[in-house]
Amino acid sequence: MRKIILNALIILIVIFVTGCTSNADTVDTPLYSGKSLFIGVVREVPKIREEHVHFTSISFDELADYTKLSSQYDAVVITKEHLKEADDNKFVKVYTNADVPFFFIGATKSFMPFVLEDVSYEHSSLTNFNSDMYVTCYLQTGETYKTWGYGLYNGKVNEPNIKDVYSRMFTTIESIENGTYE
């Protein structure tokens, strides 16, 4: 009898511990429920939860023609695999004049290498104001600029946490368009 109770207790402890640790890496967050958004993304379209957010894959050549970006897209996303190419000096004018927010996925070295000439992302010693950031956003309108940072839940890189970051990014994009961002 004692052995049965001990075995049952061990099974309950294992279930409890397993249940607690598996939830520690993800968070259940609300979907973005605002207006439809149209976002340009340099190369690979990300997997997201929202059906009313539309990504269009764009090239760096299309990005260079920044005068059309604000009329075609609510924002532009540059994925981690293309950050090195995105920090080319020829794009500084794009990021500082396009009047759309730019989201740099996986940029651990701040937004500065993208908006300052002759600052290389690869060789920069600049870091994000918070090293836990997974995404850095930059928006310049006229002479003023605003930045945002988005971290992953518990710093864990996994699909649910990445999708959560995108949902928060979409909320920021809508707030920019409504003029309600802080």
31 in a structural domain: no
Model confidence at 78, pLDDT cuts 50, 70, 90, reads very high
What average pLDDT does this structure show over 109-126? 72
Residue 156 main-chain phi, psi, to 5 deg: -95, 125
- The type of residue at 133 is M
136 in a structural domain: yes
- pLDDT at residue 149 in the model: 92
- How many domains are contained in the chain? 1
85 in a structural domain: yes
Q: Can you tell me whether residue 135 is helix, strand or coil?
A: strand
* DSSP H/E element including 164: helix 159-178
Model confidence at 14, pLDDT cuts 50, 70, 90, reads very low
How far apart, in whole angstroms, are the C-alpha atoms of residue 158 and residue 56? 23
- pLDDT at residue 6 in the model: 45
- pLDDT at residue 121 in the model: 63
28 in a structural domain: no
Percent of the chain with pLDDT over 90: 61
Domain coverage including residue 95: 36-178
What average pLDDT does this structure show over 156-180? 94
Is 92 in contact with 112 (CB distance < 8 Å)? Answer: no
7 in a structural domain: no
